[in-house]
Amino acid sequence: MGWVDAIRDHGNLLFIHLRDVRGIVQVVFDPGLSKQSYDHATYLREEDVVQVRGKVEIRAKGTENPYLATGDIEVYATEIEILSKSKPLPFQISEKAMVFGEEIQSSPDKVDEELRMKYRYLDLRRPSRQDIFIKRDRIIHLAREALRARSFVEVETPFLTRSTPEGARDYLVPSRVHRGKFYALPQSPQLFKQLLMIGGMDRYYQIVRCFRDEDLRPNRQPEFTQLDLEASFIDEGFIYEVVEELLVSMFSVGDISLPRPFPRLTYEQAMELYGTDRPDTRFGMTFREVTDIVKDTGYSIFQRIISAGGIVKGICVRAKAHELSKNVLQNEYALKIVPSFGAKGMTWMKVIEGKLQSNIVQFFAPQEQQRLMERFEARDGDVLLMIADESRDLVNEVLGKLRLHLAERLGLIPQDKYSPLWVTHFPLFEMKEDGIGSQHHPFTQPEREDFDPENIEELLCLKSRAYDIVLNGEELGGGSIRIHRMETQRKIFKALGLSDKEAEAKFGFFLKALEYGAPPHGGLALGMDRVISMILGTESIREVIAFPKNRRAFCPLTQAPARVDPEQLEELGITVTGEGLEYDAGFGPVGEKEERPRREPRVTRQEVIHVAKLARLRVPEEELDMYARDLNSILDYVEKLSELDTDNVPATSHVLPMKNVWRPDEPTASEDVESVLREAPERKDNFFKVPRILES
């Protein structure tokens, strides 16, 4: 039994491919063997569901199909029953050729993703898609086996919980029983897994769904799966060992061998060498600082920046001098690409016949040139690219973007290489718009506990016992050793500006647990959708999620989110108005509307500035809000259009006749011609003469 994958009618014989989740087999309908079955088979269409009885035969020599696992046999049908008929398909599903690898002309991979998501149940019938979920199951099974072997216990934590600040917006669930109050869907099981450690569970794990109401990116979903783990009486070394073992086992499903032990870099080293806390280490081009070499140079730009306390750093692009011409380096990178990354400019030099060449090399003394080549370990054919600025962070950030841009452009990234890496010792705090904030979360153990919570300078220098696992420039997961002493937790809250009352309101249930003897503990969470996508080499995490949302957090299949029945809202005390929702907290009818916080715009002033910079435009300060409003209104309008039901709207086409829209190249007889020409600074043959733009 299965689905009709493909059909071929040879007149005297009819062949079909019969498909189910375990594979495809060829079925032959021969009127000489069973005229009734043959006649029934002539009515078959792709994706009909059928039951076939027959005899399995070895295929005649020379007719085998090497592109099918069952290509050496076929079934000669004696009976057929059509269990279910299929409507005409919105897109091609079959991925297999009938014989000898013939290509199906309409490949499902070419179908618009939104259409495939709308008919996801059809998309999931494709063998390549089913293979993804079979392998996903195997990957998760291997993870469970590895953790159980180390005495980890799987424990489920609540989905309906309290809203706690964890860095992203919560999805809120109104309560019918407790009117005016809300549950929150968990962004992670962070506090519950720590409570399990306080509860003496020792080693916990969970394959858990998490929810974050945040702006989406290509590899983000509003709901996603984590492999969450926590253990007591351990240190970072234990976490590194367990997670490396897990990842090696999981990646083996994709025939990928990860070398152990994974290298480790501190956050500071990663930023200084790669300009990012998730570096791609499959290729070189690490940064070299040359401030000490060029501090006395005659190159005025470097002189001015260094005298103001700035730095000069650069990268060496190996053996690419012939691909990076002077025109590309100067007019593309120095004038356009690097400024779009945020720097004011870029300095470049090539190594040709053992010497540096560029249009500024004359400003550098021979010994400076020699030391530059030594610092970068430069050889003939190499290109040196340097960025100078008063901000070290900006130099690192720009060089990091430039490094990746060049690697992609020049094909320097090996596609079959996997380079895992631990990034450790993150800053505990960071400066945000509203003051000091935690870089991870406020339960991360500081590297030392003897700090002054009121000394901002000291807080910003304080390191944490946090760590991220990075692979090929992608963060796969992160975690930390947690705080287990109440006095340390109070100091962290004080540093964050939280009073005892505020801390109690936000984390009271957890803080109370800390007072009853908490063991030293730590853990980590892996983003399973991202990990599996990388193992299986899919273009997006949406391909490894059975029923994903699109990039607008909308489900084309179920049309969620959607409006609900007024009766349901009434039970919850919610009233729908023209402007949105009003909430009755259970104290009578909805009263006067309170001023609602405005929805955060998708396009901000900063994004307008960024886009203008990319286009090399200057937007006056007083016009930034206007442009942001206009762009947001356009996005809102497009979003409304995307929600229109067009299923039953017939397609229309408009054929316009060709028409010359240019004016005839001669003065018109209009009475206004003279009034127009009167303003001309110069006339020629009764034309308005303008300055020449192109010289012949």
pLDDT of residue 591: 37
Q: Where are the domains of the chain?
A: 2-109, 283-413
SS3 assignment, position 555? strand
Q: How far apart are CA 288 and CA 566, in angstroms?
A: 64
In one-letter notation, the amino acid at residue 87 is K
Q: How far apart are CA 399 and CA 405, in angstroms?
A: 10
pLDDT for residue 395 is more than 70: yes
Q: Cβ(350)–Cβ(361) under 8 Å?
A: no
Rounded to an integer, the average pLDDT of 555-560 is 94
Rounded to an integer, the average pLDDT of 325-350 is 95
pLDDT for residue 680 is more than 80: no
Q: Cβ(228)–Cβ(197) under 8 Å?
A: no
Pairing of strands 49-58, 73-84: antiparallel
Select the more confidently predicted residue: 610 or 6. Answer: 6
pLDDT of residue 589: 40
And the tokens for 279?
């570096």
pLDDT of residue 105: 45
pTM over 0.85: no
Q: In this prediction, what percent of the chain has a pLDDT beyond 90?
A: 69
Q: Cβ(228)–Cβ(209) under 8 Å?
A: no
Residues in the chain: 696
14-33 pLDDT, tens per residue?
999 999 999 999 999 999 99
Least confident of 123-132, 252-261, 475-484, 611-620: 611-620
Rounded to an integer, the average pLDDT of 139-153 is 97
Rounded to whole angstroms, what are the CA distances from 250 to 143, 177, 230, 397, 437?
7, 44, 19, 33, 35
Residue 696's pLDDT band (cuts 50, 70, 90): very low
Does domain 2-109 fall under CATH 3.40.50.150? My reply is: no
Rounded to an integer, the average pLDDT of 357-376 is 95
Tell which residue, 146, 185, 151, has the closest CA to residue 168: 185
Rounded to an integer, the average pLDDT of 660-676 is 61
pLDDT of residue 101: 44
166-189 pLDDT, tens per residue?
667 899 999 999 988 999 999 999
Residue 310's pLDDT band (cuts 50, 70, 90): very high
pLDDT of residue 670: 57
Q: Specify the fold of 283-413.
A: Gyrase A; domain 2 (3.30.1360)
And the tokens for 408?
């992609």
Residue 449's pLDDT band (cuts 50, 70, 90): very high
And the tokens for 350?
């090539």
Q: How far apart are CA 661 and CA 578, in angstroms?
A: 45
